Structure 1
Amino acid sequence: MAQRETWTTRAGFVLAAVGSAVGLGNIWQFPFKTAENGGAAFVLVYLLAAVLIGLPTILGEFAIGRRAKLNAVEAFDRLDHPAWTVVGGLGLFTGLWILSYYSVVGGWVIRYTIGSLTGGYFGGTAAYFGAVSAGWEAIAFHALFMALTAGIVAFGIEDGIEKATKLMVPSVVLMLVGLAVYAFTLDGSGPAYSYYLSPDMDYLANNLGSVIPFAVSQAFFSLSLGMGAMITYASYLSDDDSLPADGGLVVGLNTLIGVLAGLVVIPLLFVQFSQIPETAAGGGPGALFVSVAQVFGGLGITGRILGALFFFVVLIAALSSAISLLEVVTAYCVDRYEWNRMATAFGFGGVLFLLGTLSAWDTAWLGWFDTLAYSVLLPASVLLGVIFVGWVYGPEAVEEMEKGADGAGQYATLWIWWLRTVVFVGVLVTLYLGVTSIYASPGLPGL
């Protein structure tokens, strides 16, 4: 068997994990989920979920991956708990399910980057989105995005993923900071910051049941939890790395970038519309594209430059996240069957392209795929992982957490009990609320 790759540096792992987390979940989903769920009220619940639920959960996935030093599916077999392979299998399926429609949105981003430079959407943003978001053109750009993703994964950990994310993640941060500074200088941005940063507690009290599942699932989505990605990435770590320190960095940087994305998008919308427009609040998966494009379309040549920069940032973030999802199944096939990495990456890229054609042909399918992932697949996958780490593999997980982290013993014990109680209950409630929302909603598109 060929020697398994590892990260060449700690920074490489942290940036790759952040890159997995920082993607469309932060820049596409986070602002429009915020707009749909009460602004700062949603942000508050999301931040609490990221710290109180997301951080303990990501540490659990890190512990599984590094302990096993195998892909997310076979890891449980190596840990002498083969019955729990279902956790890795569900995570792998969830990640592939998400990537199939995520790639479609990635194709939109490519199209909008080009459209910004040419001014293609300036004449009518809603009509432009309708033309590029579904049908043969959407399928073509979906194929291009998936090919780019597979190409990076095909080069492996050191030469592909690590090198790519070392460039991508700092670039995303720098460009978002620049755009946030620009948004801050705009006249009339004050109400935006109030909407985004000052929670309406009355709204939260009256809508807690709907805000919680979206906010917690947003934390799962944006941290790449329940998809096998963090287990797989941690499997390439050495025992000298501190999991608590790395987990804190990943969650902190990811949350910072999500908040930064909101500091760009929300002020732009308020300056242009004096409020969150209906196209952004309740407008579905295309809401951000239509609303933000309207902003850039009204700024002339400046809009072309800012629009190209914004959508290029989104594109880089989308790629950094997509490669982590494709790496999960690629690592499994390379580890288990010793398949050729390049053939595996492009082969599964092709399968996911075919599955994604449903979402590319009709955005109603994309919305359904996304709702099922948010409401059921992610919380179910995370819940099984929490049960395994907390109640089945607890002592070994604590031992793994102490490696490379001096003085972490007492905190590791607190962590495992927090996972067993607070995190378990929080994820269980999120799954319940998600399933009930799915039950109350319409069925498959067109049926």
Structure 2
Amino acid sequence: MARETWATRVGFILAAVGSAVGLGNIWRFPFITGQEGGSAFLLVYLAFIALIGFPALLVEFVVGRRTELNPVGALQELGSGAWRYVGYLFVATGFIILSYYSVVAGWFLRYTVIGVTDGYAAGAADPEAAEALFGSVATGLDSLLFHALFMVLVVAIIAAGIRSGIEVAVKVMVPAIIVLLIGLAAYGFTLDASAEAYAYYLSPDFGVIAENWTSILPAAAGQAFFTLSLGMGVMITYASYLGEDRNLAEDAGIIVGLDTAIAVIVGFVVFPFLFAAGLTPGDGGAGEIFVSLTAAFAEIPAGRVIGTVFFAMVGIAALSSAISILEVLASYLMDEFGVDRVPAAAGLGVAVFVLGVPVTVDLVFLDLLDLFADSILLVLGALLLALFVGWVASDAAREELEIGIGDLGGLGEAWIWVVRIPVVVVVAVSLYLGVVEYAEFLTEDFADWLAAR
């Protein structure tokens, strides 16, 4: 079957930005920033994005456009020996991430409905009520039903194809996300606690970085790869649909810039709301943005309207990311087995839904899957691809990068050496620290959960 392509450059860029701007930016970023020291984490995260994330994004772009294949097919075409099997890691990682991503996205849909029907007043009268509300939404029948609803939406868009499905959807969703975020940030600026919130968010304490770098570095690495959709084959797949020779470095710069700007703006939205309600960032873990912001929206003027808009916006952002992950899986079935797009999307949607069901039963499975995918799988995938492109397929990668931009004084050669050494070393250290952190989780938190059963 003929391979689809993007209709426009804008469509490709918005799709890539839409993939990057999702739950990673709006759900994960605030609570990870809070847990890891606020502005201290932000500084390390921004440095990681610029020095590691950008060249790593180019790695996936050159592999995708060079081969015009999904991650599995791309590595099988370019590599030999064990390298031919690395692409399966990307497919497995995307499958795992989407299974719990869909559950969390369903929570945002449910909170949007709550804003329309009941409002968030319970959070002001009784903080425990806000926690109870989150518990009822996060697990049980509500969680299962909205998990299913979200996957139906994702499958419908993927089934419609690249131009009629993904490209049309992101051209509406991504601009809507940006406009809503800017509006919410402007509103946050008017709150009395905004100055305190900005100080927490923008004034880094280098002592915190020096003292906690072993936890901040893997958190920043995982967040960077998660939010840029690296290490799961999304950008390989999206670049494989490029129908013309474009400047990949320029496109990557736009995508990284927009994604990072949106992540930073999210902090200008969330932290003023938290400080206005007298809440401490980072205390609530995965449920923080629900429990804390529910209480915050109950306290601030027009909180019900603001809260409804916020949760709806995150739901849209989650959808724009989820379609990119399912597209990786669908492209694998279509390229490697000749499965038509509609049955591929539908079958994968059912499989992803089933894998996510345990998360709707107990949140310990969310921690189990998220920490494993974020701290290990994404980083491992990025490391292996950097090693492959930097040391095995460097000539082909350099040649592909220079299409559309020229040599520009040895830019391609400089990029290869950045990938070979700084990227590989930093990502390898991050992977080691992530493995240590996950081992601690298994032997402590998860072991305690098992013992309590």
Q: Same fold (TM over 0.5)?
A: yes
Q: Which residue of 2 aligns with 1:251?
A: 256
Q: Which residue of 2 aligns with 1:42?
A: 41
Q: Which residue of 2 aligns with 1:184?
A: 189
1:288 corresponds to 2:293: no
8 Å CA contact 2:97, 2:370 repeated in 1: yes
**Offset of residue 438 of structure 1:** 1.4
Q: Which residue of 1 aligns with 2:230?
A: 225
Q: Which residue of 2 aligns with 1:426?
A: 426
Distance 1:170 1:263 in 2: 18
Amino acid at match of 1:8: A
8 Å CA contact 1:176, 1:260 repeated in 2: yes
Distance 2:43 2:380 in 1: 23
Q: CA RMSD in A?
A: 1.3
Q: Which residue of 1 aligns with 2:84?
A: 85
Distance 1:125 1:99 in 2: 27
Gaps in structure 2 of 5+ consecutive residues:
123-128
Alignment of 1:259-338 (within 5 A): 259-273=264-278, 276-277=279-280, 280-299=281-300, 302-338=302-338
1:446 to 426, 445, 450: 450
TM-score (norm 1): 0.96
Q: Which residue of 2 aligns with 1:339?
A: 339
- CA-to-aligned-CA distance 1:62-95 (integer Å, 9 cap, x gap): 0000000011110122225363232211011111
Distance 2:16 2:337 in 1: 25
Deviates more, 1:114-123 or 1:416-425: 114-123
**Offset of residue 58 of structure 1:** 0.5
Q: Which residue of 1 aligns with 2:103?
A: 104
Distance 2:261 2:109 in 1: 24
Distance 1:269 1:185 in 2: 14
Distance 2:356 2:199 in 1: 38
1:127 to 111, 126, 132: 132
8 Å CA contact 2:192, 2:276 repeated in 1: yes
SS in 2 for 1:446: helix
Distance 2:210 2:185 in 1: 30
- CA-to-aligned-CA distance 1:47-71 (integer Å, 9 cap, x gap): 0011101000000000000000011
SS in 2 for 1:257: helix
Superposition misfits of 4+ residues, deviation over 4 angstroms = none
**Offset of residue 239 of structure 1:** 4.0
Distance 1:87 1:171 in 2: 36
Amino acid at match of 2:6: W
8 Å CA contact 1:161, 1:323 repeated in 2: yes
8 Å CA contact 2:109, 2:315 repeated in 1: yes
Distance 2:18 2:314 in 1: 12
TM-score (norm 2): 0.95
1:170 to 175, 185, 193: 175
8 Å CA contact 1:220, 1:226 repeated in 2: yes
Distance 1:371 1:122 in 2: 33
SS in 2 for 1:3: coil
Deviates more, 1:111-120 or 1:94-103: 111-120
8 Å CA contact 1:217, 1:378 repeated in 2: yes
8 Å CA contact 1:239, 1:403 repeated in 2: no
Amino acid at match of 2:367: G
Amino acid at match of 2:200: Y
8 Å CA contact 2:120, 2:304 repeated in 1: no
| C-alpha distance 69-182 of structure 1, shift in aligned 2 (>3 A) | same
**Offset of residue 407 of structure 1:** 4.6
8 Å CA contact 2:14, 2:170 repeated in 1: yes
8 Å CA contact 2:276, 2:300 repeated in 1: no
Distance 1:120 1:263 in 2: 23
Q: Which residue of 2 aligns with 1:24?
A: 23
Deviates more, 1:30-39 or 1:436-445: 436-445
- CA-to-aligned-CA distance 1:301-359 (integer Å, 9 cap, x gap): x1111011101110111000000000001011111222121111111110010000011
Distance 1:394 1:243 in 2: 16
Amino acid at match of 1:65: G
**Offset of residue 441 of structure 1:** 2.3
**Offset of residue 420 of structure 1:** 0.4
Q: Which residue of 1 aligns with 2:126?
A: none
- CA-to-aligned-CA distance 1:86-116 (integer Å, 9 cap, x gap): 2211011111111100000011000001111
8 Å CA contact 2:119, 2:304 repeated in 1: no
Gaps in structure 1 of 5+ consecutive residues:
none
Distance 2:90 2:183 in 1: 35
Distance 1:367 1:223 in 2: 21
Amino acid at match of 1:353: F
Count of residues paired in the alignment: 441
8 Å CA contact 1:34, 1:42 repeated in 2: yes
Distance 2:76 2:145 in 1: 40
SS in 1 for 2:442: coil
